[in-house]
Amino acid sequence: MELDPLLLSRIQFAFVVSFHAIFPVFSIGLASYIALLEGLFYKTGNPLWSRLSHFWIKIFAVVFGMGVVSGIVMSFQFGTNWSNFSYATANFIGPLLSYEVITAFFLEAAFLGVLLFGRNKVPPGTHLFAAGMVALGTFISSFWILATNSWMHTPAGVELQDGIFQITSWTEAIFNPSFPYRFMHMGLASFLTGGFVVAGVSAWYLLRGRDVEANRKALSMCLWLLLIIAPAQAVIGDYHGLNTLEHQPTKVAAMEGNWETQNGVPLLLFAIPSKETQSNSFEIGIPKLASFILTHDMNGEVPGLKEVPVAEQPPVALVFWSFRLMVGIGVLMILFAFAGAWLRWRGQLYDHRFFLRGMSWMIGAPFVAVIAGWFVTETGRAPWLVQGMMSHSEGLTPSLTGAMALFTLIGYITVYAVVFTAGIYYITRIVKAGMEHDESGDTDEVERPSRPMSAAHIPFDKPATPPTSG
């Protein structure tokens, strides 16, 4: 069997970046939540806020550490598997990705340590300031990453000279047409992720009657937040879609499973799109709704996939179904937010076991939605790496063979399986230990901001029955 280095590299990148995305998308939202808790504590002096903050800082420390580790692999992927892309685009992506690193280091050196370890060592105002700066820093980091990514979808401010992208305008390149939409969409996604995880964990504690007062507060404030941002995300997502329609019509056609450019396109709820037959089977749809959503006119024209040659069509079924998964979870999130508001109004919010159980099941949902969303936007750009200017096959490392790509793909899967199983297992240990866990400094650990995980002191495993160390 012939191993295709292009396909394997794409699978590898998708795997590595999906795994990586889990961590920052959570830590960005969580950092803001922690800053909010610190602000409330500073203002009211109520120790309940500080207890909540203390607990979530531990989780944040581990998630941040995992994000950094998986991010290092990302920064080498561009060179190992996509060297032509790296070389051609380095004038733009080189400085931007480096600025992300610089932001992260500055944040770590200056503020992370104060946030993680400084509670009793610096004045409360300073601690609050550090919490705010960490939250801001996570946004600045994502600013650079999303500017780079958006530019690949809607390249601007550059021209190709001898196969190299030369910058003609830094502002146009950084603030390219899809950047504001993607940045807002991702920002809200981070808040949704943070909100659903905190709410879900609080609900889990409430079901077990643990630390009821603090967890009620946490659940309540998260549900207020979700009530606003879950519907807001639908609106922002719509604007993002309209922007995509303008710049990447083929991607939108794949999202809608629309083959012919036509008017009055139905919104498909179910279909099995096939690139071979250039059509869908088993279509179930709501008439004219896709046209209405995309053009705000029942009979508006929606571009079709057949506008471009088959070779320039993305993998339609993957885009189509990832999009439905993302939107489906989005709708579910809105329903949960509304259900929470209704139960609150009825005064049953904290006692409705069915709802609480549902909230704790929703912990995983935002992560799935985020990854599905990235699948839509990234595979929807195929076959382009830089929309309209450089294709995946042009960007691939020329010397890469299928066997090499397969070797590292299996390797990364193995490494990640071990490392992240340990990490996620450890996070569940921290959650199970709970806010009641006493931290009277019974540790021999060296606490350092450059080792964020040293902020959590929960044992990794149960004490060994036969002592192994002397």
Partner 1 sequence: MELIDLSLIWAVIIGFAIIMYVLMDGFDLGVGILFPFAPDEQSRDIMMNSVAPVWDGNETWLVLGGAGLLGAFPLVYSTFLPALYIGVFLMLAGLIFRGVAFEFRFKANRKRPWNWAFAGGSTVAAFAQGAVGGAYVQGFNTVDKVYVGGAFDWLTPFTVMTGLGLLAGYALLGTTWLIMKSEGHTQDWAYRITPRLLFAVLIVFGLISVWTPLVDDFVRERWFGNLGIIWVLPALALLSTYILWRAVRKRQEGMPFVATMAMFIFTYLGLLVSKWPYMVPPNYTIWDAASAPGSQLFLLIGMLFIIPIVLAYTAWTYWVFRGKVRADAGYH
**80, 294, 316, 438 from 252: Cα distances, Å:** 31, 9, 10, 52
Cβ atoms of residues 449 and 112 within 8 Å: yes
SS3 158: strand
Nearer to partner 1, 6 or 188 (CB): 6
Query: Which lies closer to partner 1 via its Cβ, residue 216 or residue 429?
Result: 429
The DSSP-derived string for 54-109 is HHHHHHHHHHHHHHHHHHHHHHHHHHHH-HHHHHHHHHHHHHHHHHHHHHHHHHII
Nearest Cα neighbor of 434 from 36, 29, 52 is 52
Nearest 5°: the CA angle 88, 89, 90 is 100
H or E, element range at 139: helix 124-153
Which lies closer to partner 1 via its Cβ, residue 317 or residue 415? 415
For the bound state, the minimum distance from the C-beta of residue 7 to partner 1, rounded and expressed in Å, comes to 17
Question: Closest approach of Cβ 129 to partner 1, in Å?
Answer: 18
Q: What is the DSSP letter of 453?
A: G
C-beta closer to partner 1: residue 393 or 443: 443
Q: How far is the CB of 60 from partner 1 (least distance, A)?
A: 15
Distance CA 22, CA 364 (A): 10
- Between 219 and 430, whose beta carbon lies closer to partner 1? 430
Q: Least distance from C-beta 407 to partner 1, angstroms?
A: 7
DSSP secondary structure code for residue 27 in this structure: H
| Rounded distance between C-alpha atoms, residue 384 and residue 153, angstroms | 9
Helix (H, G, I), strand (E, B) or coil at 286: strand
Which residues lie below 8 Å from residue 460, measured CB to CB, with a gap of 6+? 422, 426, 429
Min dist. Cβ of residue 80 to partner 1 (A)? 5
- Environment class of residue 323 by beta-carbon count within 10 Å: exposed (0-12), middle (13-18) or buried (19+)? buried
Residues 6+ away with beta carbon under 8 Å from 414 = none
Q: Which two tokens stand for residue 324?
A: 């439905």
Cβ atoms of 82 and 385 within 8 Å: the answer is yes
Q: How far is the CB of 414 from partner 1 (least distance, A)?
A: 8
Q: What's the min distance (Å) between Cβ of 15 and partner 1?
A: 14
10 Å Cβ neighbour count for 1? 4
Nearest distance, CB of residue 167 and partner 1, angstroms: 6
The distance of closest approach from Cβ of residue 441 to partner 1 in the complex, given in angstroms and rounded to an integer, is: 8
Is the distance from CB of 167 to CB of 173 less than 8 angstroms?
A: yes
Amino acid identity, position 312: E
Least Å distance between CB 295 and partner 1?
Answer: 40
Measured from the CB atom, the residue of 122 and 368 that comes closer to partner 1 is: 122
- Residue labelled with tokens 């691939």: 396
Residues 406-442 as b/e (b if ≥16 CB within 10 A, e otherwise) read bebbeebeeebeeebeebeebbebbbebbbeeeeeee
Closest contact distance (angstroms) between CB of 143 and partner 1 is 14
CA angle (363 as vertex; 359, 369 as ends), nearest 5:
115
Nearest distance, CB of residue 460 and partner 1, angstroms = 4
Calculate ∠ Cα 60-65-71, nearest 5°. 120
Indicate the residue among 309 and 398 with the shorter CB distance to partner 1. Answer: 398
